[in-house]
Amino acid sequence: MSVRGSALRLPYALRRMEESDIPAVMEIEQSAYEFPWTEGIFRDCIRAGYCCRVVQRNDTTIIAYAVMSLGAGEAHILNLCVAPPWQQQGYGRALMSDMMDLARRLQADTLFLEVRPSNVAARALYDRLGFNELATRGGYYPSRQGREDALILARPL
Ligand SMILES: CC(C)(COP(=O)(O)OP(=O)(O)OC[C@H]1O[C@@H](n2cnc3c(N)ncnc32)[C@H](O)[C@@H]1OP(=O)(O)O)[C@@H](O)C(=O)NCCC(=O)NCCS
């Protein structure tokens, strides 16, 4: 099932990520992150039944995606990414709002995620959407300097 992007009425459809989407997703992943996920991680997330969604523009081009796990009333955003040419046009906010709606429909009451303290864009997005900082996980991410902490954020749904 696909739904129209809700938050800002952007011209996009949100649909399940299929294994056949992984090459297009990987192209974005590698252009957006310094330490990208591998194809195998996306495949495992799809096979594990996580909520894996892609954002398609009218012409069927994938421009963003998100991966979320759910369990025991908690949802966890594991990946949320907008292709660089489409960033800062509202798609991240719209996709995150749609993932929050999806988590609510699946009975989650809290949404968690981790973010690098250095990720200015993501921190701005999560701040705008009302996430609160819960804790710091030391040395969670690889970085050029060795490791970087993760901020753990949460938001009631
Ligand atoms: C983080 C990311 C998803 C944001 O998506 P986006 O589509 O560019 O964000 P939006 O256009 O919806 O902007 C959402 C808010 O964040 C702010 N924002 C976005 N990029 C920003 C930047 N580079 N600097 C400062 N603020 C920024 C916007 O101003 C907006 O706030 P506003 O509505 O008050 O104006 C996108 O930058 C991305 O995919 N980055 C690479 C992958 C990544 O880091 N994912 C997050 C992992 S935790």
Q: What is the pLDDT of residue 61?
A: 93
Q: Which residues are CB-contacts of 22 (< 8 A; sequence separation ≥ 6)?
A: 39, 42, 43
Mean pLDDT in residue range 44-59: 94
pTM, 2 dp: 0.94
The band of 10, judged by pLDDT with boundaries at 50, 70 and 90, is confident
Our answer on whether the CB atom of 8 is closer than 6 Å to any ligand 1 atom is no
Atom of ligand 1 nearest to the CA of 32: 41
If you measure from the C-alpha of residue 121 to the centroid of ligand 1, how many angstroms do you get, rounded to a whole number? 4
Q: What is the pLDDT of residue 2?
A: 43
Our answer on whether the CB atom of 151 is closer than 6 Å to any ligand 1 atom is no
- Ligand 1, atom 7, lies closest to the CA of 92
Does residue 5 or residue 98 have the better pLDDT?
A: 98
Q: Say how far apart CA 34 and CA 31 lie, in whole Å.
A: 8
Q: What percent of the chain has pLDDT over 90?
A: 89
Our answer on whether the CB atom of 90 is closer than 6 Å to any ligand 1 atom is yes
For residue 4, pLDDT beyond 90: no
Sheet with 51-57: list strands edge to edge. 3-4, 12-16, 51-57, 62-71, 74-82, 110-115, 146-156, 132-143
Atom of ligand 1 nearest to the CA of 89: 11
Atom of ligand 1 nearest to the CA of 64: 39
Our answer on whether the CB atom of 87 is closer than 6 Å to any ligand 1 atom is yes
For residue 44, pLDDT beyond 90: yes
Q: What is the pLDDT of residue 45?
A: 98
